[in-house]
Chain A
């Protein structure tokens, strides 16, 4: 979908402690370092506490990025209901919402022409052994559902971003989300 655009605006939103910034950073790294494209990221924190609102704005483009802020996202990656309420009205009319379906109920507020896809990412992360990798499942879901970046590039960005010793489980989490996303967008 968005791969034809020269500029794709992405907003990752959720709560502090869900790994929102890391998720956005992985998308940006995969684009800028491992896909030869341009990327910009701006992170926004809420109050200084776990569980407060948190979001990352990521731009992926084929040309230099003059304006690094997301105003009307093409893609929303959402891990909390508050983030949905806050960011859904900003989505472009033909935009895509990717959401954690145990944490977000995508009711109302979306443009009628927008698409939304959910994933039980928390459950997948827990089944893999660590709820902590929820954000990496979402990064994989983003990769599989949007086709904006190659899975190879995102794999490299994950390995480059996570602490030594955790790569294997994080890559499993990435692939879990990726395969789930691919299955949702692949015609049967």
Chain B
């Protein structure tokens, strides 16, 4: 069933197509297969160990609760990319969403990361979120470019913040995209109710 404009087909730069859909619990085993198929090098800087059943159980629980919304891309019957919006449903950062993105090696450089991350940005705006962040390390040049094309800018750099799966310390780059202006315009429109110096 279609929801929020998904599933939809995305045409990639090499002419191939992928289907992008909202992830559900039924995608769990395929998602685990996808992450297990990534090379050690690719998984070097992923925030979590995404190859374990424990991670999958936590991830699916977040999907169920609404704390995570995920898009998966499929081609030839297998998942070839995934982007997730993580959000705090309560607390002082409930207006902020964090985006995480992974693309299979053989699909990189073709616009799939942009399609997935762009889809998640749209979902975040539709949810009323005002700010999105992505946590990257300095070596992720392609991902940085993708997020920059989506309006993200580097907001902070935390030295030696990340220990990758080999234990090597890396600098963490915080990219952010503040979309609060979109909702400021709506707030201004609603405030037409009490324009000063007019009325009655």
Residues in A lying within 8 Å of B, measured CB to CB: 15-22, 43-50, 52, 54, 128-130, 132, 135, 161-166, 168-170, 172
Residues of B within 8 A of A22 (CB): 189-190, 192-193
Query: Contact at A165–B194, with CB atoms within 8 Å?
Result: no
Residues of B within 8 A of A161 (CB): 189
Known: A129-B127, A129-B128, A132-B190. Contact between A45 and B182, CB under 8 A? no
Residues of B within 8 A of A19 (CB): 189-190, 193
Query: Contact at A17–B199, with CB atoms within 8 Å?
Result: no
- A82 CA to B125 CA, complexed, in Å: 34
Residues of A within 8 A of B199 (CB): 43-46, 48
Check B159 for interface membership: any CB of A closer than 8 A: no
In order of increasing CB-CB distance, the 10 nearest A-B pairs are A45-B199, A129-B128, A16-B194, A163-B185, A165-B182, A130-B128, A19-B190, A16-B193, A168-B126, A48-B196
Query: Contact at A132–B193, with CB atoms within 8 Å?
Result: no
* Interface SS, B side: helix
Residues in B lying within 8 Å of A, measured CB to CB: 4, 122, 125-129, 179, 182-183, 185-187, 189-200
Smallest Cβ-Cβ distance to A129: which chain B residue: B128
**B125 CB → nearest A CB, Å:** 6
**B22 CB → nearest A CB, Å:** 14
Query: Contact at A18–B196, with CB atoms within 8 Å?
Result: no
Known: A45-B195, A52-B194. Contact between A163 and B125, CB under 8 A? no
